[in-house]
Amino acid sequence: MQNQINTLPKLAKDKHKENKTFFAKLRKKPPKQLDYIMQELHEEEFKRTDCLQCANCCKTTGPLFTDKDIQRISKSFKMKEQQFIDQYLRLDEDNDYVLQSVPCTFLDAENYCIIYDVRPKACREFPHTDRKKFQQISSLTLKNVAICPAAYNIVEEMKKQIKL
């Protein structure tokens, strides 16, 4: 798995132009069954992919924390929201709350999330490959294929199945 993670940025970079062209066409004329196809591809890939063997998303990027995320997580820590923000978060250039640093503070040595049951929405939905109206998040997907081996595999399979 580590070898796959190490080669992923180069693989994604090599496929970037091809993927960008594919997604541009997909946005213009998405197939009627796109959401169904993406759900199937996502489910099939995650039968083979064990996120605990990877956790590259947690090691290299940080999620956005919504107000609801902050409320839920701080409550689980029995902290005031502002105390949680001060201890773990910062505002980024878009004025969104993000982690102060990566890898994620809440990732343990065995790649388990210590706040898994209350984790941010962005973490719950990552890599977003089963999202409805998938064609609308193509720029996010282009970034995620360089981080997540499963997202990379899903996009490669998607290009085989969907002829544009």
pTM of the predicted model, to two decimals? 0.93
Residue 1: the pLDDT is 84
pLDDT digit string (tens) for the chain, length 164 residues: 888 899 999 999 999 999 999 999 999 999 999 999 999 999 999 999 999 999 999 999 999 999 999 999 999 999 999 999 999 999 999 999 999 999 999 999 999 999 999 999 999 999 999 999 999 999 999 999 999 999 999 999 999 999 88
Which contacts of 109-118 are long-range, i.e. CB under 8 A and separated by 24 or more positions? 110/52, 111/51, 111/52, 111/53, 111/54, 111/55, 111/58, 112/52, 113/58, 115/73, 115/76, 117/76, 118/72, 118/73, 118/75, 118/76
Q: CA angle at residue 89 from 60 to 93, to 5 degrees? A: 75
Structure tokens of 68? 């609801």
User: How far is residue 157's CA from residue 95's CA, in Å, rounded to a whole number?
Assistant: 36
Please report where in the chains the tokens 């081996």 appear, as a residue.
149
Look at the alpha carbons of 157, 38, 56, 46 in this order and tell me if their dihedral is positive or negative: negative
Taking only the tens place, the pLDDT of each residue in 116-162 is: 999 999 999 999 999 999 999 999 999 999 999 999 999 999 999 99
Q: Say whether the peptide bond before residue 103 is cis (omega within 30 degrees of 0).
A: yes
- CA–CA separation, 58 vs 156, rounded Å? 23
